[in-house]
Amino acid sequence: MINTQVLATLRQEVEALQAVHAELDDSYARSVRLEEQLIELVNAFSREVADFLARIAAGDHSRDQLLVATKQMQEIQMSFNQQYLQLQMQMQRENRSYTSVSNIMKTRHGTVKNSIGNIR
């Protein structure tokens, strides 16, 4: 009778571990998407900088045109910095979530392992 109760508890723990594992997989997938967004953002910013430099190198611009171009570049850089900061914060949240879930899985695994050891 005790063995059936222990087995039922172990089954519940295994199911809980599977749910936590699925949550970890989701967290990892979100992290991958965030990393892809960050790469796209960096690439877009690099293109904007290259375009800006190309316009300057193209030649004969008036002082007013250069000031306007410089202001646009500063606005683009501020926008990039804001988006980059938001992505960093999302990545940190995902990392904390992943770490928490991982620690829960380790604890539950230890519990299941000890329960199995107690059956023997």
- DSSP 3-state assignment of 60? coil
CB-CB neighbours of 67 under 10 Å: 11
In 3D space, the residue among 46, 83, 52, 79 whose CA is nearest the CA of residue 68 turns out to be 52
Q: Is the dihedral of CA 97, 98, 103, 105 positive or negative?
A: positive
Q: What is the pLDDT along the chain (120 residues), one digit of tens a residue?
A: 557 877 787 788 788 878 878 887 887 888 888 888 888 888 888 888 888 777 777 776 677 777 777 788 888 888 888 888 888 888 888 888 888 888 888 888 888 888 777 776
Residue 93: the pLDDT is 84
Quote the strand ranges of 16-107, DSSP E.
Answer: none
Which tokens belong to 45? 């910013």
Query: Domain segments of the chain: what residues?
Result: 2-119
- Tell me the HSE value of 66 on the side-chain side, using a 13 A CA sphere: 9
